[in-house]
Amino acid sequence: MIVVRIYGGLGNQIFQYSFGKALSLNSGRELILDHSPMIGKRGEKYRKTYKGFYYRLNKYNIDEKYLNPSQSNFINIIRKKKLYKLINNIAVLSDKKKLIPYYIKEEYYDPSVINKHSFIYFDGYWQDFNYFSDYIKEIRKNLTLKNELDCYNNELLKEIKSVNSVSIHFIRGIKVADNKHRKIFHQSSMNYFFKAYDYIREKVENPKFFIFSNGIDWIKKNWPKEKPVTFIDNAGPDYEHHFLMSRCNHNIVDNSTFSYTAAYLNANPQKIVIAPKIWTKKKRFNNSNSWIIMDNS
């Protein structure tokens, strides 16, 4: 049995699910999701800090099996007290009965652990396409929406399919508004988006650009008129916008898991994806997908 902790925004949830699904397919183990950080009282901190950070994987065609509340509460205590060695010692003793999972934090992940324990709990963001690239076809199939888009976004989807569409994603929100987050995350310069826009214009015949953002009003004020685009207003839920971006022919992404995962789920074999060089102020993007990396400083 494989348990993956689910938390953060939609992009992070997709990374976490994809990591777990790939492990499940590779090992033949059952995948269980621990979505307790996103629901109930424990989920309130996300909803207060990050507007719109709700559990979203239930909107997709995935197998929804969840860790039972008692085990989830036990794991949460272990996490808070940092008693990882204790739980792992107990887990080894109860491994055959699968009563308590062996706990793995991302920074200590070793692929061989899957062969050593029958019940494992994975805690991390798993923001590396290499974890699940071998199973992308299955993951793309699972990460299709259960329900039809709302009327507005359904019309947008028709337009996106009818033209040589290019999504442009700007991440703003808390990354710009909150001092703590500004110290961690890098805000991509407008020049990065202008360079990416011009590159696509040179390489793609009759491209039509669609801008998605959680700060669309600011983008409208600062985007030059000589670079024509269609602004996607914040109508409809985030997972529908994510789906629309993944259905564009090409993608210009920001340093955000929201647009990174949308571009990765884009199944167009001729797609051009432009990604920013700087991820956070201490991290650079690991180009493992033949994407075009441009400076966003």
139 alpha carbon, distance to own chain's centre: 13
- Residue ranges covered by each domain of the chain: 2-135, 149-294
Written out in words, the top-level CATH class of the domain with range 149-294 is: alpha beta
**Global pTM exceeds 0.85:** yes
180 alpha carbon, distance to own chain's centre: 21
Indicate whether 272 pLDDT > 80. yes
What is the share, in percent, of the chain residues with pLDDT greater than 90?
Answer: 65
Distance between CA atoms of residues 121 and 2, nearest Å? 6
Q: Which amino acid is at 63?
A: D
pLDDT-derived band at 273 (thresholds 50, 70, 90) equals: very high
State the pLDDT at residue 82. 87
Asked whether the beta carbons of 258 and 174 are under 8 A apart, the reply is: no
Q: Which amino acid is at 147?
A: N
Highest mean pLDDT among 64-68, 82-86, 174-178, 286-290: 64-68
Asked whether the beta carbons of 168 and 212 are under 8 A apart, the reply is: yes
State the pLDDT at residue 56. 94
Between CA 199 and CA 208, with CA 204 as vertex, the angle to 5 degrees is 95
Q: Which residue has the higher pLDDT, 176 or 171?
A: 171
The 10s digit of each residue's pLDDT in 5-29 is: 999 889 999 999 999 999 999 999 9
Q: 231 forms bridges with which residues in the sheet?
A: 211
Between CA 258 and CA 29, with CA 3 as vertex, the angle to 5 degrees is 110
Q: Tell me the pLDDT of the chain averaged across its residues.
A: 89
